Amino acid sequence: MDKVCKQASSAFSRCRVDIRPPFFDFVGIDRADPSIARRLASITISEVKQPFERQPPRKVGELEQMVINEQQFIACPELVTNLLYDGFMMQRVFYSMLPEDERITEHLHIIFTSKLACTFSEDDWRYHARALVCGTPSIISTSGIVEAPAKPREFYLYRAQAHYLSSQREARRDRDTDEDKDKFAGQYIDYHDKRITDAAIGYVYQATMFFITFGQPFCNLQNCRLYNSHWQSDLIRTQVLNPVICKRHKKLIDDFNKSAI
């Protein structure tokens, strides 16, 4: 977080950047309070091809188990799960916990979470994983950094072939998974990858630009750090290998720094 804070402070020099304690500690929420776990469990997604309001209801026993699991995740926030959370509903939950005097545009809250945020798209009528959900507060999902941008096309072809082979030879399954990572090592950001920090810095820039530009956080230029990367190769290029801001957005940031009070 120190690196993220340092770069954000350098880019947006007229803003004071604070590193707050873990979110629940900062807002004074009792981690053992089951109502918090219940609220988070209630915004998980079980059917990716249905919007949030059409999600099938959870069975009582299933929901209670999810609440218990959620309490474990709250106690240990760095845990990574395979659950999907509606990103905008997550935003609402976190917003309701913010201090009332900080629910204004003068405060830009950016919450980092290992939970996998997703949003529903009416273009293809399904949920998609997101690394960033802009707004108040903005949410950066470290799991989303891994899962949202697509891996190389060859990766999916190789995985499909491996899955076919493993269905014929069940004992190969674990070895195939290891081979996936070895064969494509370095071509995508994985869990516990040091490059997640570099990518997170870029998403902090985008979350900030969302407010500076009144809702336009991305750049159309593929070599700008504000480019909306849909592929891991784009993410690595713009955030790790050549993390630069295009001239137009650099001017916007410079103008913002000069005008900020």
User: Rounded to the nearest 10 degrees, how much is the dihedral formed by the CA atoms of 4, 17, 13, 202?
Assistant: 30
Which pTM does this prediction carry?
A: 0.88
Q: What pLDDT is recorded for position 69?
A: 86
Tell the CATH topology of 2-151+188-259: Collagenase (Catalytic Domain) (3.40.390)
**In the prediction, which pLDDT does 173 show?**
45
Q: What is the pLDDT of residue 161?
A: 64
Tell me the three-class secondary structure of the chain, residue by residue.
CHHHHHHHHHHCCCCCCCCCCCHHHHCCCCCCCHHHHHHHHCCEECCCCCCHHHCCCCCHHHHHHHHHHHHHHHHCCCCCCCCEEEHHHHHHHHHHHCCHHHCCCCCCCEEEECCEEEEEECCCCEEEECCEECCCCEEEEHHHHHHCCECCHHHHHHHHHHHHHHHHCHHHHHHHHHHHHHHCCCCCCCCCCCHHHHHHHHHHHHHHHHHHCCCCCCECCCCCCCECCCEHHHHHHHHHHCCCCCHHHHHHHHHHHHHCC
- The pLDDT of residue 115 is above 80: yes
**122 has pLDDT over 90:** yes
Higher pLDDT pick, 227 / 172: 227
Number of Cβ within 10 Å of residue 157's Cβ equals 10
Q: What is the mean pLDDT of residues 248-252?
A: 96
Alpha-carbon distance of 132 to 119, in angstroms, equals: 10
pLDDT, tens digit, for every residue of 49-64? 999 999 998 887 888 8
pLDDT tens digits, residue range 180-226?
Answer: 666 777 889 999 999 999 999 999 999 999 999 999 999 999 999 99
Residue percentage of the chain with pLDDT more than 70: 89
Does residue 66 carry a pLDDT above 60? yes
pLDDT at 101: 92
pLDDT of residue 63: 84
Q: Is the pLDDT of residue 26 over 70?
A: yes
- pLDDT, tens only, 146-166: 999 998 877 667 666 665 455
Give the chain's mean pLDDT: 88
For residue 160, the model assigns a pLDDT of 64
pLDDT surpassing 60 at residue 170: no
The pLDDT score that the predictor gives to residue 153 is: 75
So what's the pLDDT on residue 176?
A: 44
